[in-house]
Structure 1
Amino acid sequence: MQRFIKSLGAVILLSSFSSTADPVSELESLVNQWLQIEQQTNELETHWLEKKATMEQTLTLLDAEQTQLKQFNHNRQKNSSELAEKRTALIQKQGQLEVDESALNTQLNQLIQQLRSLQVQLPPPLFTSWQEIGDLTDENLDANEKLQIALKMLGQLADFQNRISIHEMAITNNQGKEIWVKQLYLGAAQAWFVSNDLSYTGIGFPAELGWQWQFDSELDGEQVAHGIAVQEKKQAANWLTLPVFSYAAKESIQ
């Protein structure tokens, strides 16, 4: 309002210098012009305030977006670093697994060769059991399947080795005649056999060419039969006198 009064005074002062125009009309014209100028000024100020608020809001949103982008970029770099570390760790672990797998395959192949060499020297009942478990030479088997077969074979060997067992089968003598005998196994390294009429006796033992049966007429058939009967719980336990031959000793006899 003060600005309007000052401006109006200036207009009145300037109008005093006019000698030709009507003072009242001129004053009204000047007042109208001033009012228009004031209205335009107010509109500009209002428009500016609106624009300023909008711009401040936009700047606030831009600042928030910039902060989010910075955080996103930071997280991305952090995640990229973590992913790189995990990728490196996985590559190292994979490399170690490949080394371990190679070592395992080498050891497994060695074990398979040993089992194959041992298989031919096994007592016939155990040899048959190993054949029923599986074939370690089967190329269609993977390493895990071969390992499972090998472990079962070793388990059966340990079980057979730690007990006395009885079996029956036909054995061919030196004249080519098949004799049905009962066999008394002491583990997997020693066996004795006797026919039902006690007329044929002998021993069994492992050799390089496989399990061997050898007839021995000097072996006491009653002792072998008694040992078998005890194991079958048909007779009371009693002392036995049976020859025990080591593999080395038997090889030297041949």
Structure 2
Amino acid sequence: MVKHILSISNKLNTYDLILIVFLLLFYATAAQTQEKIADGDTQKVSPSFILQEKIRQWVETQKLQGKERADWAEQKRSMASLNGIRQKEIGQIDALMESAGKRLSDATAKKDQLLLDKEALKSQRDVIQGRVEKFEVSLRQKVGMFPDSLLSKISDEVERIKNEEIEGSVQDRLRDIVAILSAASDFGHAMTITSELRSVNDESIEVEVLYLGFSGAWYVSKNGKTSGWGKVQDGGWNWTEDPSVARPLTEAMEMYRKERTPDYIPLKFNNTED
């Protein structure tokens, strides 16, 4: 019988084999007990009962151990799952920290570059401001040669330039300089006829003035009795009365207005005829 049991032991698990062995021992012990116990024996607990109780306890122990192993396996699976989730969360946190670190590094580099750009712009602004101030000083010395017809176009800009304590921004000041230089350039490259008042013998007389840019100018009254010429000198116009200018200047103005056929007209230019 034992050989038969051993032959099938490979087909059974360990717990089944142990159980069979205990059963065999139980039967063997029970048989011996029956032989030794007499009819009048007063023993209350038989060996077979003890064996049965131990087998029962062993079975309960095996069940408890099996349950503990199953619980432990389930706990290990849960712990493995939780560990996987934590590892994933740690990976996400590491990625976020790496990304945040990169953004911080990029922001720091950008900040440093902006500071460098700010310093460069400040240096450029200082250079531009220095040039603007030089232009303003130069223009203050030259606005005295601007005729009324020119000043009327840039009166606001000229007023601001005349103020040595300018409070405007460099951009606004540069805009005024450009406006003045542009208007002065247009005037300097054109022939302009305008009406002005001249003081002659304590009397204010209206005259017509022909400006050939800033190169020279000639004037004549409407009745032709007052005439002369002028040139820029010491930052302003210096006028010289000259009756000989009246007739040729009147003819030149008539030609300018297309009231006379174009012709060569001699006019005094810096005290010489041209």
Q: TM-score range by the shorter chain?
A: 0.7 to 0.9
Residue number among 57, 60, 68 corresponding to 2:92 in the alignment: 68
Gaps spanning 5+ residues in structure 2: where? 1-12, 37-42
With normalisation by structure 1, the TM-score equals 0.86
Q: 2:142 corresponds to which residue? A: 118
Give CA-to-partner distance per residue, 1:88-123, whole Å, 9 cap, x none.
101100000100111111111111111111101223
- Hey, what does 1:252 align to over in structure 2? none
- 1-structure distance, mates of 2:270, 2:57: 139
TM-aligned CA deviation for residue 188 of structure 1: 2.2
Distance in 1 between the 2:97 and 2:52 partners?
66
After the TM superposition, which residues 78-227 of structure 1 pair with which residues of structure 2 at under 5 Å, given as runs? Answer: 78-133=102-157, 134-136=159-161, 137=163, 139-173=166-200, 175-208=201-234, 210-217=236-243, 219-227=244-252
The answer to whether the 8 Å contact 2:142/2:235 transfers is no
Greater alpha carbon shift after TM alignment, 181-190 vs 30-39: 30-39
Question: Is residue 120–residue 127 contact of structure 1 (8 Å, CA) maintained in 2?
Answer: no
| 8 Å Cα contact 2:154/2:180 also seen in 1 | yes
2:254 is the alignment partner of 1:242: no
In structure 2, distance between residues paired with 1:166 and 1:240? 16
In the TM superposition, residue 190 of structure 1 has moved relative to its aligned partner by: 0.9
Calculate the TM-score normalised by the size of structure 2.
0.80
Could you tell me how far apart the structure 2 residues matched to 1:11 and 1:112 are?
Answer: 122
Residue 2 of structure 1 deviates from its aligned partner by 4.1
Does the residue aligned with 1:165 lie in a helix, a strand or coil? strand
Q: Secondary structure at the match of 1:120?
A: helix
Give secondary structure in 2 for the equivalent of 1:220: helix
Structure 1 position 6 matched with structure 2 position 33: no
Contact 1:123 1:206 (C-alpha < 8 Å) held by counterparts:
no
**Structure number with larger C-alpha Rg:** 2
Contact between 1:183 and 1:193, CA under 8 Å: does it hold in 2? Answer: yes
Unaligned runs of 5+ in 1: 250-254
Which is worse superposed, 7-16 or 198-207?
7-16
Question: Which amino acid is the alignment partner of residue 141 of structure 1?
Answer: G
- Aligned length, in residue pairs: 245
Range with greater deviation from structure 2 (153-162 or 231-240) = 231-240
Compared CA separation, residues 51 and 241, structure 1 to 2 (3 A): same
Q: Describe the SS at the equivalent of 1:234.
A: coil
Identity %: 18
Q: Which amino acid aligns with 1:86?
A: K
| Alpha-carbon distance between aligned partners in 1 of 2:134 and 2:152, rounded to the nearest angstrom | 22
Q: Output one character per residue of 1:131-186: Cα deviation in whole Å (capped at 9) or x when no partner.
A: 2445222634222222111111111111111111111111113x323222111111
